[in-house]
Amino acid sequence: MCVRRYRLRRSDLAVHGGDSPDLTAAKRLLDAAKSQGFTFQRITPGPDGPLRGVRETVAYRDICYLGGFGEGCCAIRARKYSLIVPGGLPVTERVTGDALTVLHTVVTKYR
């Protein structure tokens, strides 16, 4: 399963410094999300500002909001249609929780 792929390695300490294991895992999951096509931008200025990530595919629009390392993070997957849908695109999947939970779901289930 994909979970093994994102386990921490000893080389991660060299790349991410002396960060905690959870923070290092979150950084790796964020890198994996970027490699899968998500583009992230800071919503507010500063190095610790919230991030909003968006990925457009043929069938879905995926949006990921990371408000901080703890609670306050969410992601939604909305199916795209060729017709205009009143009220916006219908949400097919939604996840809320901490950054690790949201990023793990986005990387492993939103493909």
- At 63-76, the pLDDT tens digits run 999 998 777 899 99
Q: Give yes or no for a contact between 55 and 41, defined as CB atoms under 8 angstroms apart.
A: no
Q: What is the CA radius of gyration of the chain?
A: 15
Q: Which residues pair with 62 in a beta bridge?
A: 55, 77
Tens of pLDDT, residue by residue over 91-109, are 999 999 999 999 999 999 9
Split at pLDDT 50, 70, 90, the class of 10 is very low
The more confidently predicted of residues 82 and 53 is: 53
* pTM for the structure as a whole: 0.77
Q: How many domains, in total, are found in the chain?
A: 1
Q: Which of 88, 61, 89, 58 is nearest to 77 (CA)?
A: 61
For 100, the domain range is 2-109
Instruction: Categorize the per-residue pLDDT at 13 as very low, low, confident or very high, splitting at 50, 70 and 90.
Output: very low
**Residue 38 CB: number of other CB atoms within 10 A?**
23
